[in-house]
């Protein structure tokens, strides 16, 4: 799966539920909330004050394994 800042969090979680800790680590503890599942990585990072490029890099590395 190709991850970008525009990728929807719900799509990432559906593709690989083991990515949940990456979001929990950044303070996004509402992963089951319909609104959060519909957010893009960039939107979620903006709300939580996290660098979107760093999160995308972590997720890309995870999916590359």
Question: Which tens digits make up the pLDDT trace of 1-50?
Answer: 899 999 999 999 999 999 999 999 988 888 878 888 889 999 999 989 99
Cα torsion through 47, 48, 54, 60, rounded to 10: -80
- What is the distance between the alpha carbons of residues 44 and 65, in angstroms, rounded to a whole number? 24
Residue 51, phi-psi category: left (phi > 0), alpha (psi -120 to 50), beta (remainder): beta
pTM: 0.90
């Amino acid at each position: 799966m190709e991850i970008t800042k525009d990728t929807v969090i719900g799509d990432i979680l559906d593709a690989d539920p083991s990515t949940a800790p990456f979001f929990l680590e950044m303070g996004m503890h509402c992963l089951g909330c319909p609104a959060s599942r519909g957010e893009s990585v960039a939107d979620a990072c903006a709300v939580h004050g996290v660098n979107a490029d760093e999160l995308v890099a972590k997720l890309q590395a995870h999916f590359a394994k």
